[in-house]
């Protein structure tokens, strides 16, 4: 199975608090594919993956693309760039590795939430210590970045409380 991923989306979503109740889920506005280049990049990735499966070693193993048209894309000829672009627009999901939701930066930047020591602007004794602080997605799985931020955040909390 091949799974093309869009590592550097040109489209930016947003996250807003629904209320002051900390138990209410926030409002996510994903805005997938507001920049057409994102859908085109994924469609291209699908075509590359399919072309790989058409090579002799895969053919010899009996590998075939799943050739059932996706509902919503029936008007496009199957296996064309336009079909795959429709496909990604209709059937795209994320892996819940959101970054930039609580961006780190100076208080003078309205798009930031935390300072360089991960403290929430205008609040006391509250920090964000996860991948939400990084402004752009890394070209990798976010787990290693999350571990690094967690370790550094723990060190900062200990330092700021005289524990080291």
CB atoms within 10 A of CB 132: 18
CA separation for the pair 128, 45 (Å, rounded) = 34
Orientation angle between helical segments 81-90 and 36-53, nearest 10 degrees: 120
Token pair for residue 114?
A: 């935390």
- In sequence order, the 6+-apart residues with CB closer than 8 A to the CB of 41 are 6
For the purposes of burial, counting CB atoms within 10 Å of the CB of 102, is it exposed (0-12), middle (13-18) or buried (19 or more)?
A: buried
Establish whether 97 is a catalytic residue. yes
Q: Which of 25, 97, 121, 141 is catalytic?
A: 97
Residue 28 DSSP symbol: E
Catalytic residues: 97
């Amino acid at each position: 199975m091949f799974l093309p991923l869009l590592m550097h989306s040109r489209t930016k979503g947003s996250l807003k608090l629904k209320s002051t109740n900390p138990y209410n889920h926030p409002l996510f506005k994903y805005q997938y594919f507001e920049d057409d280049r994102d859908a085109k990049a994924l469609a291209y990735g699908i075509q590359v993956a399919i072309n790989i499966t058409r090579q002799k070693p895969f053919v010899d193993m009996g590998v075939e693309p799943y050739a059932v048209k996706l509902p919503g894309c029936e008007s496009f000829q199957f296996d064309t760039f336009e079909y795959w672009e429709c496909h990604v627009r209709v059937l795209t999901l994320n892996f819940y590795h959101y970054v930039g939701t609580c961006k780190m930066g100076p208080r003078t930047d309205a798009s930031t939430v935390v300072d360089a020591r991960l403290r929430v602007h205008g609040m006391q004794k509250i920090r964000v210590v996860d991948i939400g602080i990084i402004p752009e997605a890394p070209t990798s799985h976010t787990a290693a970045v999350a571990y690094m931020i967690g370790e550094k955040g723990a060190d900062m909390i200990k330092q700021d409380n005289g524990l080291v």
